Amino acid sequence: MSGPASLSAPVLAFDASTLRAAAAVLGPDGSDWGTWQQPAGERGTAQLAPAVAGLLAARQLEVADLAGVAVGVGPGSYTGLRSAIAFARALCWPSGLPLVGLPSVSSAAASLLASRPEVQTVITVVDARRGECYRADYDRAGERGMVETRAPCLVPASEIEQLTAADDLAVITEPEPAAMFLARLASARLASGGDDPATVLPLYLKRSHAEIALDERGG
């Protein structure tokens, strides 16, 4: 993953992989054209579409005015991911806009690297419950870029317990997506055409807890 590419139109990005959905509009010059984050304690994705509509209206934008859409694909909430990706497809298919799906934790890593120049490596950790965690690693690449050195994967919680933060290493637990950085990370791929919306799928690394519990009760 690298820094933002130059685009001639704004980028819309949103994520609903955690308990707090987030959305942002990145201006074509790389500036912040508007951000929204779901208030703490309010759950569900019902607020996402109205929030996106509000961000676009504030800049007098229509969906067709965008360079493309970026969406976080997880790992995270099963329901939130399905809702956000379905919404992204609904925006892109009728309008013909390109779509890019990125790991949700990548935006949090990019945000931290931007705010802490001494950090070279970021490890993101999300509780997957039942003694497991989702882990992904990112390294600084150049002045503004970032590279994924370990794709999101499922690991035992004991592996995370052995991690020790250092001056050049940061460990983020339960990161909340930074939608503006999601847009910046997606800009290079959007500039080259983006992804086929049909191929942008939720990043499910394990079965849902409801499915596991159902199997256990049946057993």
pLDDT by residue (tens digit) across 185-198?
999 899 899 998 88
Residue closest to 92 by CA, chosen among 13, 207, 177: 13
18-34 average pLDDT score: 95
Please check the confidence at residue 166 and state whether its pLDDT lies above 60: yes
How crowded is the C-beta side of 118, counted as CA atoms within 13 Å?
6
* Distance, CA of 216 to CA of 214 (rounded, Å): 5
Compute CA distances 189 → 49, 117, 196, whole Å: 24, 25, 12
Please report the domains of the chain, with CATH numbers, ordered by start residue: 11-218 (3.30.420.40)
100-105 average pLDDT score: 96
The pLDDT value given to residue 40: 83
* Spatial contact of 92 and 69, defined as CB atoms under 8 Å apart: yes
Grade residue 217 by pLDDT with cuts at 50, 70 and 90. low
* Distance, CA of 79 to CA of 91 (rounded, Å): 19
* Distance, CA of 70 to CA of 41 (rounded, Å): 25
148-162 average pLDDT score: 94
pTM of the model: 0.89
What separation, in Å, do the N-terminal and C-terminal C-alpha atoms of the chain show? 44
The pLDDT value given to residue 99: 96
* Spatial contact of 177 and 108, defined as CB atoms under 8 Å apart: yes
* Distance, CA of 150 to CA of 129 (rounded, Å): 20
* Distance, CA of 32 to CA of 13 (rounded, Å): 12
